[in-house]
Each structure stands twice: as structure tokens, then as C-alpha cells.
Amino acid sequence: MIKELLSTISEIPTPDIVVQQIISTASNPNASAKDLEKVIAMDVGLSTKILRLVNSAYYGLPRKITKLSEAIVIVGFKTVRNLALSVFTYSALHSKHTFIDHDKLWSHFMTTAIFSEHIAKRIGFMNREEVFLAGMMHDVGKIALDLVFPVYTYELSKLSQEKQTPFFLIEYKCRVEDHMELGGELLKLWKFPDEYVSVAQYHEKPSLNPDSPYIEMICIVHLANVFSNIFMPGYSLSYGSPYLDPLTFNVLGMKPGDLKVMFHELERVFERSRDMIYGGVQDEAGIQA
């Protein structure tokens, strides 16, 4: 039902041919850096935006990278893929004006992606680039919700603020399709691999699917999302104390005391990533992607 709804609604952006090829090239184990470069080079604007992100302070490169081929060699195939898909997410968010602040929502996506990558590194989780992308895409359902039901989305966010209750709990109370379900369906429609779909579906409450083969990734993004909401309250349309699922501690092998240490680490990560988080993909003149 939701799937049909999403595929028939013209407000939902569909990845253009370049983005579709980036998704498939990057999930193909036999694809080479050259293949990715060829696909991205089809869109000149995209290459420029990727290079701007690669040169941000977050990656701390000693010199400026001016060529896509160099970027792929230096920061890696998967990172370049992630940045390309971040640019697409930014455009999807800015495809229509609604009642919510899309720049803030995008900053929430990027912060969650960056925090997810840091947490993954900290606990020794291997697929760091996958976790970054899962963090970037976790709340993609909010784009769908906002584009399809703009007044409703705005009202939900207002209620979240008034009641100081997380957005997803307000959604639960309203008993309609929520951003987790919508996000999962949207990523399936866009042909993202299963792990990203699962993160979109369970990132608010991993214990709803404790046996998922992707439970580690779900918990990493869940925790990153909690921190992201603490650092930037309301940016994700959610207010009040974020909900932290106790399952996270078991799955990630953490103790509650680790949260404080992690908070301070993420403060430094946040400072270092400001140019990525705030408008990293805007054009020079401030014109949106």
C-alpha cells in the first residue's frame, strides 16, 4: 500500500540515471574506481559538489583535490559514493518548499552520518563507509512525509515541540504511516541494499527487530541519531529527550558510562565537521543544489 502510494506520488524525487548508476556501481563488488568516475563525470555539477565536500576540513587533506579521479584514490571509492548520494539527498530535500526548514533537516542527516562513522570507528565496526551512508539515509522517510503530507508533518513536529516528546512517539500515537516505514519503502524503491532499508525501518527503536542481521549497524545509527538530536534539538523535527534503546549497550558492547566520554569525543568531531554539516553542498553563491 505505502509502496504504491510512494511510487505514484510525483512529489517524491526519483534518483536520476546518474544517481541510480552510482547506487548500483557502488553495490557491485566487481565495479572499479574508473566505473564510478565515469558515472559521476556524466554530471558536471555533481563532481564539483563532491570535490567541495572532499576538500572540507572533515577529511583534513593536506592539499586541495581538484580531480575526481584523485578524490577516489585519496578518500576512497565508497566515500565518494557517499558524498554523491549526500548531494542527491540534499536535492531531494530541496525539491519543494514546505513548512519545515530543509537545511536543518539536512544538517541532521549529515551529523548523524558523521557521528555514525565515528561510533563505528570507535567500536571497531568494519563497514564504516556503509554506516556513514546508513546514517545519511536513516530519516529519508521524513522527506517523503513532508513532501506528501506537508501540513501533517509540520503539525507532528509542532506537537513534538509542545509535548517535548520525540517525533516518532508522536507518530506512534497518531497510528498512521510513520517515517520509519515510509523511509524503508522509499529506499527499496530506490534499490538500496537491504541494510539501509533496515536502518531506516528500525533506527528509532532497534529492539523492535533484535534478530536483524544488521542489528549492529541499526544500533550505531540509532545512537548517532540520539547524539545528533542532543547536539541540534529540533533539527530533525524531533524535540524532547531522545529515546535511547537499552539494547544498544549489549549490541555495541558499551556501558552507560561510555556515553559521557563519547559525548566529548563527538563534540570535537562536530566542531571539525562544521563546514560539512552546514551547507557543504550549496553552490558558491549560496544557491542550493
Under the criterion CB under 5 A, does residue 225 sit at the interface with Fe ion?
yes
Choice between 157 and 225, CB closer to Fe ion:
225
**Joined grid coordinates for residue 45:** 555539477
Q: What's the CA gap between 169 and 203, in Å, rounded?
A: 13
Compute the Cα dihedral for 64, 68, 70, 76 and give only its sign.
Answer: positive
Choice between 198 and 236, CB closer to Fe ion:
236
Choice between 47 and 116, CB closer to Fe ion:
116
**Joined grid coordinates for residue 2:** 505505502
How many residues touch Fe ion (CB under 5 A)?
3
Q: What's the CA gap between 157 and 237, in Å, rounded?
A: 5
Query: Which one of the spans 31-39, 152-160, 169-177, 235-243 is the region binding Fe ion (CB under 5 A)?
Result: 235-243
Residue 106 exposed, middle or buried by CB count within 10 Å (0-12, 13-18, 19+): buried
Compute the half-sphere exposure of residue 90: CA atoms within 13 Å on the CB side of its CA: 24
CB of 145 to Fe ion, least distance (A): 10
Under the criterion CB under 5 A, does residue 195 sit at the interface with Fe ion?
no
Choice between 77 and 214, CB closer to Fe ion:
214
Query: Which one of the spans 12-20, 57-65, 214-222, 225-233 is the region binding Fe ion (CB under 5 A)?
Result: 225-233
The values of phi and psi at residue 126, to 5°, are -65, -50
Q: What's the CA gap between 101 and 220, in Å, rounded?
A: 26
Under the criterion CB under 5 A, does residue 236 sit at the interface with Fe ion?
yes
Q: Mark 110-149 with x for binding to Fe ion (rule: CB under 5 A) and - for no binding.
A: -----------------------------x----------
CB of 172 to Fe ion, least distance (A): 12
Give the residues lining the site for Fe ion (CB under 5 A): 139, 225, 236
